[in-house]
Amino acid sequence: MQLGMVGLGRMGANIVRRLMRGGHECVVYDVNADSVRQLAGEGAVGAESPEDFVAKLQQPRAVWVMIPAGLTGTIVDQFAALLDEGDIIIDGGNSNYRDDVRRAKKLREQGIHYVDIGTSGGVFGLERGYCLMVGGDDEAVGHIDPVLKTIAPGVGEIERTPGRSGDLAAEEQGYLHCGPSGSGHFVKMVHNGIEYGIMAAFAEGLNILANADAGITQGEHSAEVAPLEEPEYYQFDIDTAKVAELWRRGSVISSWLLDLTAAALQANPTLDGLAGRVSDSGEGRWTVKAAVDIGVPVPVLAASLFERFASRDEDHFANQVLSAMRQQFGGHQELPAGDSLEAGGAKAD
Amino acid sequence: MQLGMVGLGRMGANIVRRLMRGGHECVVYDVNADSVRQLAGEGAVGAESPEDFVAKLQQPRAVWVMIPAGLTGTIVDQFAALLDEGDIIIDGGNSNYRDDVRRAKKLREQGIHYVDIGTSGGVFGLERGYCLMVGGDDEAVGHIDPVLKTIAPGVGEIERTPGRSGDLAAEEQGYLHCGPSGSGHFVKMVHNGIEYGIMAAFAEGLNILANADAGITQGEHSAEVAPLEEPEYYQFDIDTAKVAELWRRGSVISSWLLDLTAAALQANPTLDGLAGRVSDSGEGRWTVKAAVDIGVPVPVLAASLFERFASRDEDHFANQVLSAMRQQFGGHQELPAGDSLEAGGAKAD
Amino acid sequence: MQLGMVGLGRMGANIVRRLMRGGHECVVYDVNADSVRQLAGEGAVGAESPEDFVAKLQQPRAVWVMIPAGLTGTIVDQFAALLDEGDIIIDGGNSNYRDDVRRAKKLREQGIHYVDIGTSGGVFGLERGYCLMVGGDDEAVGHIDPVLKTIAPGVGEIERTPGRSGDLAAEEQGYLHCGPSGSGHFVKMVHNGIEYGIMAAFAEGLNILANADAGITQGEHSAEVAPLEEPEYYQFDIDTAKVAELWRRGSVISSWLLDLTAAALQANPTLDGLAGRVSDSGEGRWTVKAAVDIGVPVPVLAASLFERFASRDEDHFANQVLSAMRQQFGGHQELPAGDSLEAGGAKAD
Amino acid sequence: MQLGMVGLGRMGANIVRRLMRGGHECVVYDVNADSVRQLAGEGAVGAESPEDFVAKLQQPRAVWVMIPAGLTGTIVDQFAALLDEGDIIIDGGNSNYRDDVRRAKKLREQGIHYVDIGTSGGVFGLERGYCLMVGGDDEAVGHIDPVLKTIAPGVGEIERTPGRSGDLAAEEQGYLHCGPSGSGHFVKMVHNGIEYGIMAAFAEGLNILANADAGITQGEHSAEVAPLEEPEYYQFDIDTAKVAELWRRGSVISSWLLDLTAAALQANPTLDGLAGRVSDSGEGRWTVKAAVDIGVPVPVLAASLFERFASRDEDHFANQVLSAMRQQFGGHQELPAGDSLEAGGAKAD
Nearest to C207 among B317, B328, B332 (CB): B317
> In this structure, are residues A197 and A301 in contact, taking their beta carbons and an 8 Å threshold?
yes
pLDDT at position C226 is 54
DSSP assignment of D173-221: GTEEEEESTTHHHHHHHHHHHHHHHHHHHHHHHHHHHHTTTHHHHGGGS
Q: What is the mean pLDDT of residues B222-230?
A: 62
Contact A122 D329 (CB under 8 A): yes
Question: Which whole number is the average pLDDT over D313-335?
Answer: 85
**What is residue A67's DSSP assignment?**
S
Contact A306, C297 (CB under 8 A): yes
Which of A164, A203, A256, A157 shows the shortest CA–CA distance to B257?
Answer: A256
Q: What is the pLDDT of residue A224?
A: 39
Mutation site for A-interface testing, chosen from B198, B239, B265, B285 by largest number of A Cβ within 10 Å: B198
Cβ distance A252 to C315 less than 8 Å, yes or no, reads no
Distance CA B236, CA B216 (A): 8
Q: How far is A307 from chain B (nearest CA, A)?
A: 8
Encode pLDDT of B257-303 as tens digits: 999 999 999 999 999 999 999 999 899 999 999 999 999 999 999 99
pLDDT beneath 50: ranges in chain A: 221-225, 336-346
Question: What's the pLDDT at D333?
Answer: 57
Is residue D329 within 8 angstroms of chain B, CB to CB?
yes
Q: Strand, coil or helix: what is B153?
A: coil
The reply to whether A241 touches chain C by the CB within 8 Å rule is no
Please report how the helices D282-294 and C183-210 are oriented relative to each other, as an axis angle in degrees rounded to 10.
60
List, for residues A160-204, the tens digit of each pLDDT value.
Answer: 999 999 999 999 999 999 999 999 999 999 999 999 999 999 999
List of residues 6+ apart from D42 with CB closer than 8 A: D17, D20
Residue B122: predicted pLDDT: 72
Q: Which of B172, B195, B245, B342 is catalytic?
A: B195
Distance CA C161, CA D305 (A): 28
CB-based burial label for D33 (10 Å; 0-12, 13-18, 19+): exposed
A155-170 in b/e form (b: 16+ CB < 10 A) is eeeeeebeeeeeeeeb
Mean pLDDT of chain B: 92
- Does D288 lie at the interface with C, CB-CB under 8 angstroms? no
Backbone φ, ψ for residue A174 (5° rounding):
95, 15
Q: What is the ipTM of this complex?
A: 0.94
* pLDDT value at residue C281: 85
- Whether residue C299 and residue A306 make contact (CB cut-off 8 A), yes or no, is yes
> In chain D, which residues have their Cβ closer than 8 Å to the Cβ of A288?
none
Quote the minimal CA–CA distance from C59 to chain D in Å. Answer: 30
Pairing of strands A25-29, A45-46: parallel
* Cβ neighbours of C253 in A, within 8 Å: none
pTM here is 0.95
Show residues of chain A in contact with B291, CB under 8 Å: 204, 208
> Could you say which of D195, D245, D307, D334 is catalytic?
D195
Phi then psi dihedrals of residue A6, to 5 deg = -110, 120
A50: amino acid identity, one letter: P
Say how far apart CA D213 and CA D231 lie, in whole Å.
9
Q: Which residues in chain D have their CB less than 8 angstroms from residue C251's CB?
A: 120-121, 131, 191, 256
Q: Is B289 a catalytic residue?
A: no
Confidence of residue C331 (pLDDT cuts 50, 70, 90): low
Chains that touch C (3 or more CB pairs under 8 A): A, B, D
C-beta separation of D168 from C264 below 8 A? no
The CA distance from D136 to A289, in Å, is 49
**Residue D31 CA to chain centroid, in angstroms?**
26
Across the strands, what pairs with D176?
D133
Question: What spatial distance separates the first Cα and last Cα of chain C, rounded to whole Å?
Answer: 72
Which residues on chain D are in Cβ contact (under 8 Å) with B302? 288, 299, 302-303, 306
Candidate from D130, D237, D304 with C-beta closest to C250:
D130
pLDDT of residue C139: 98
Residue D303: which of C234, C236, C300 has the nearest Cβ?
A: C300
Question: What pLDDT was estimated at residue B339?
Answer: 44
Which residues of chain D have a CB within 8 Å of the CB of C174?
A: 246, 249-250
Residues A171, A195, A245, A342: which is the catalytic one? A195
* Interface B:C, Cβ pairs < 8 A: 325
What is the pLDDT at residue A332?
58
Say yes or no: A164 contacts chain D, CB-CB below 8 A. Answer: no
Residue C248 has pLDDT above 80, yes or no: yes
Provide the 8-state DSSP code for A47.
-
Sequence-distant (6+) residues with CB within 8 A of D154 are C249, D129, D173, D174
Predicted confidence band of residue C333 (pLDDT cuts 50, 70, 90): low
Whether residue C59 contacts residue C87, with contact meaning beta carbons closer than 8 Å, is answered with yes
C188 near A CB under 8 A:
no
Report yes or no: A321 at the D interface, CB cutoff 8 Å: yes
Contact A259 B159 (CB under 8 A): yes
Q: How many H-runs (helices) and E-runs (strands) does chain A carry?
A: 15, 8
Residue-level pLDDT at C67: 93
Q: Which residue of C198, C217, C341 is the best one to mutate when testing the D interface, meaning the one whose CB has the most D CBs within 10 A?
A: C198
Per-residue pLDDT reduced to its tens digit, C297-322: 999 999 999 999 999 999 999 999 99
Query: Are A297 and C288 an interchain contact pair (Cβ–Cβ within 8 Å)?
Result: no
Closest CB to A66: pick one of D279, D281, D346.
D346
Average pLDDT estimate for C98-122: 95
Q: Does the annotation count D307 as an active-site position? A: no
Higher-confidence residue: D9 or A226?
D9
Q: What is the pLDDT of residues D252-285, one digit of tens each?
A: 999 999 999 999 999 999 999 999 999 998 999 9
Which of C175, C230, C253 has the most D C-beta neighbours within 10 Å, making it the best mutation to test the interface with D? Answer: C253
D299 chain-B contacts, CB cut-off 8 A:
302-303, 306
Sequential DSSP letters for B6-65: E--SHHHHHHHHHHHHTT-EEEEE-SSHHHHHHHHHTT-EE-SSHHHHHHTSPSSPEEEE
Rounded-to-integer distance, Cα B325 and Cα B349, Å: 12
Chain C, 121-160: which have a CB under 8 Å from a chain D CB? 121-122, 125, 128-131, 133, 152-159
| DSSP assigned state of B336 | P
Instruction: Give the mutation candidate from D177, D204, D278 for the C interface (greatest C CB count, under 10 A).
Output: D204
Inter-chain CB proximity D341 and A280 less than 8 Å: yes
**What local confidence, expressed as pLDDT, does residue B333 receive?**
57
| C257 interfacial to chain D (CB closer than 8 Å) | yes
Of residues B131, B163, B295, nearest to A246 (C-beta): B131
Could you tell me if C317 and A294 are in contact, meaning their C-beta atoms sit under 8 angstroms apart?
A: no
- Got the DSSP string for D310-338? HHTTTTHHHHHHHHHHHHHHH-PPPPPTT
Q: Per-residue pLDDT for B33 more than 50?
A: yes
Chain-chain contact of D323 with A277 (C-beta, under 8 angstroms): yes
Burial class (CB within 10 angstroms; exposed 0-12, middle 13-18, buried 19+) of C224: exposed
**Lowest-confidence segment of A73-77, B301-305, C332-336, D33-37 by average pLDDT:** C332-336
Strand, helix or coil for residue B129:
coil
For range D35-49, the mean pLDDT: 97
Summarised one tens digit per residue, pLDDT across range B70-124 is 899 999 999 999 999 999 999 999 999 999 999 999 999 999 999 999 999 877 8
| Distance, CA of B87 to CA of A1 (rounded, Å) | 70
Residue A134 in 3-state DSSP? strand
Phi and psi at B141, nearest 5°, equal -65, -40
CA B208 to chain centre: 25
Comparing C-alpha atoms, which of A257, D245, C303, A158 is closest to residue B202? A257
Confidence tier at D92 by pLDDT (50, 70, 90): very high
Interface test with A, best of C247, C281, C292, C328 (most A CBs within 10 A): C292
Q: Is the pLDDT of residue C223 over 60?
A: no
Report d(CA C18, CA C15) in Å as an integer: 5
Q: Which tens digits make up the pLDDT trace of C140-156?
A: 999 999 999 999 999 98
Inter-chain touch B322–C332, beta carbons under 8 Å: no
Distance, in Å, from the CA atom of D324 to the CA atom of D310, rounded to the nearest integer, reads 19
b vs e for C176-189, b when ≥16 Cβ sit within 10 Å of the residue's Cβ?
Answer: bbbbbbbbbbbbbb
pLDDT value at B209 more than 60: yes
